[in-house]
Amino acid sequence: MAQRKLRRREFLELSAVATLGAVATACGAPKPEVIEKEVTRVQEATPQIIEKVITVEAPKQVSEPPALAEKVAAGALPPLKDRLPVDPVVVGGRERIGTYGGEVRMIAYDTVWHLEYGWLAERMIHYSDMDLRTLVPNIFESWEVSEDGKSFTFHLRKGMKWSDGQPLTTADVEFWWVDFATNEELGWHSWHWRWGGERCKLDIVDDFTFRVTFVRPFGLFPAHLTRWHMGQDFMLPKHYCQQFHAKYTDEAKLTEQAKALGLENWQQLFYRMVPWGITVWQAPENAPEFPSLSAWVVKETPQEGTHIWERNPYYWKVDQAGNQLPYIDRLRYDYVATVEGQTMKIVQGEIDYAGPHDVTIARYPLYKENAAKGNYIVGDYVSCMTDRYVLFPQHNLNDKVLEQIVNHPNFVRALSVAIDREEINESLYYGLARMGQLGPMPNSKYYKEKYGTAWAQYDPDLANRLLDEMGLDKRDKEGFRLRPDGQRLQFNIEHSGTRVGASTAEFTEMVVSYWRAIGIDATTKEEQESLYSERLRNGEVHCGVWHADRCTDLLLPLEMNWYLPVSSGQGGPAQWWSNWYNAADKTAEGLVEPPDYIKKLYELYDIMCETTDEDKRVEAGQQIFDWLAENPLAIGTVLESPAPIIFNKNLRNLPRPKMPIGWDTYCISTYHPEAIFYEGGQRA
């Protein structure tokens, strides 16, 4: 083992120095050394959660950014009182009242799509960023839940407006529901809308009130709305979208428009002009015209891959002094094609914010070495996404002999204890991570210590014994184990590279070496995410890899994707069982019915979704994790890892240190980026 560790460390150090050298050459500076002495371990760095929500009082008066005041004076914009809702959201609990001005530069991974949605994703309901557990109003001003947990009444903010100045009313909710989500010609709605086996009912009460009723209690429904943002997730701007809908515009005219764009019909035109995530996840050509509720709206695309977002003059939040938010004037997203290019822009100080999709603990020394020169800080946060690698041996496979092997309880256990997690920690994480099995993060109310330690010890002798006991004790002349059909036991890991994490390739190579050491002919390969997901769904991937988000109380009870087969694509332990679970008709042809022990886990998950009693929900969740501790379906490696988020050193009102940042928090969305500002109004 010592020899293998030495090679791994040498490989990592040479890689880090090579990256630094490339940056230094571009800067015309000598090559800096990798500084490991600055690294401190975080074995006990569980985030501190404040169990108190700050009560925010409404300000006595409101004011606006000077640039908008000038437009009001020129008659180009209505007065602020006519742009804000009657009761705007008041953002309190910040470090201080901010200063207007400045631009935040960020990285885009695609010429249209981007992964810095945390600045733009305004959701129906929020979790408080003080305790990460209390639901608080956001787009919805308030809501009520019936005693039986089946009916939910929601209230919009009176006077709230889209970014083009048009009012937001329940007409936008009704359009979304009737003309889009349940429209047979557009055909889209998620499993939430048929919770209990039947489609829920949506009733419009008045211009600002509507009600959703399910046939079965759905206690988690309000929490699900912390994930849904404007734009195909509960409301659409009817006044804009109806011009592309055949119910409101002549179909022949729409067909003509569609064909001019190389499309076939009005439905395709609608999806082209109203794509998922517009003004939140992506900025297509029509984004500047598309009405939004975000703090910033698309202003221009000066060149392909570069998008400029400017302050929304109708944004509906203020600070405690009554200043209309956001403080920052502009956001700039620039497409960068390679990970190396992204890293170079960070260390050269050309980026003002690099979020969890952009950074990795594997480059921590590199970030720290260049922080002063690049005028940025490396934030002290905990990842609930990046660097938390999980392996998903697939329990549904076309290869039925291999499928039977994977479904034997000994197999996943053996694969897990064959992995030297501490070697991975030292080699890829500089010893900064807290290693462990897949499960809730230690700051979760669902967490028990045994979840993180179950089958997570490094014990290759036990791994060999477990495999021998299940009948895989015969080997070929090269020492690889033989399957019951006499073929060599091959087990292939497939992944999507940096889409999963910056060190995915190195991580999977290390895992392959551990599994080959116990007689499994393991290999690994990288492929495009679309191909990976397709192969996964088709039962062709032996073992997949993704990052373990959905690990905090914000998201874990809502999406148990990594722990149970409840969703297909990206990861999860069994794609076909998840199809059965999500099917409206579970007797439909082609579905694969799961075994009884999986059905029992589904029953517990249904209790989590159904109950309005939080204690009962946690109890059901812990029963699931108790079972998984003994019978793992997936293999986690990192229990906690730092998230070295990059911020320009002049930025203020940042998330508190040690708080989780990742998919669970919608990147920094939970921490109110609209209240972030530059000291002095400009970047360092």
Could you state, in order of their start, the residue ranges of all structural domains in the chain? 389-640
Please check the confidence at residue 3 and state whether its pLDDT lies above 50.
no
Predicted confidence band of residue 2 (pLDDT cuts 50, 70, 90): very low
Share of the chain above pLDDT 90, in %: 80
Q: Supply the mean pLDDT for the chain.
A: 90
389-640 to CATH, choices 3.10.105.10, 3.40.50.150, 3.30.9.10, 3.20.20.100: 3.10.105.10
What is d(CA 160, CA 401) in angstroms, rounded to the nearest whole number?
Answer: 59
Least confident piece of the model among 78-87, 422-431, 561-570: 561-570
In angstroms, the CA 335 to CA 93 distance is 34
pLDDT at 20 over 90: no
The β-bridge relationship of strands 103-108 and 125-127 is: unpaired
Give 395-405 pLDDT, tens digit per residue.
Answer: 999 999 999 99
Q: What percent of the chain clears pLDDT 70, i.e. is strictly above it?
A: 91
Least confidently predicted of 25-29, 409-413, 488-492: 25-29
pLDDT of residue 9: 37
- Mean pLDDT, residues 63-89: 95
Interatomic CA distance for residues 357 and 666, integer angstroms: 11
25 pLDDT higher than 60: no
pLDDT tens, position by position, 324-350 = 999 999 999 999 988 889 899 999 999
- Residue 18, judged by CB atoms within 10 A of its CB (0-12, 13-18, 19+), counts as exposed
Give the pLDDT mean for 666-678.
Answer: 97
278: tokens are: 């517009």
Q: Are 99 and 679 in contact (CB under 8 A)?
A: yes
Q: Which residues, in sequence order, are bridge partners of residue 636?
A: 390
What is the C-alpha to C-alpha distance for residues 561 and 397, in angstroms, rounded to an integer? 18
Convert the pLDDT of each residue in 97-122 to its tens digit: 999 999 999 998 888 888 889 999 99
* Mean per-residue pLDDT, 204-211: 98
User: Does pLDDT of 271 surpass 60?
Assistant: yes
Residues facing 546 on adjacent strands: 390
Compute the half-sphere exposure of residue 538: CA atoms within 13 Å on the CB side of its CA: 7
Pair of tokens at residue 684: 């360092």
Local confidence band at 568 (pLDDT 50, 70, 90 cut-offs): confident
pLDDT tier for residue 229 given thresholds of 50, 70 and 90: confident
Report strand pairing: 521-526 vs 490-495. Answer: parallel
Q: Which residues contact 251 (CB under 8 A, 6 or more apart)?
A: 266
**Residue-level pLDDT at 51:** 42
> Closest by alpha carbon to 546, among 385, 674, 419?
385
Chain segment 151-202, per-residue pLDDT in tens? 999 999 999 999 999 999 999 999 999 999 999 898 766 788 889 989 999 9
Q: Which has the closest alpha carbon to 24: 340, 347, 346?
A: 347
Greatest mean pLDDT among 124-133, 227-236, 407-416, 578-587 lies in 407-416
pLDDT value at position 419? Answer: 98
The predicted model gives 56-76 an average pLDDT of: 87
Residue-level pLDDT at 654: 97
Calculate mean pLDDT across residues 297-314: 95
Residues in the chain: 684
For residue 470, pLDDT beyond 60: yes
pLDDT of residue 55: 58
The region of weakest confidence among 29-33, 129-133, 262-266 is 29-33
What is the phi/psi pair of residue 508, to 5°? -65, -30
pLDDT value of residue 621: 98
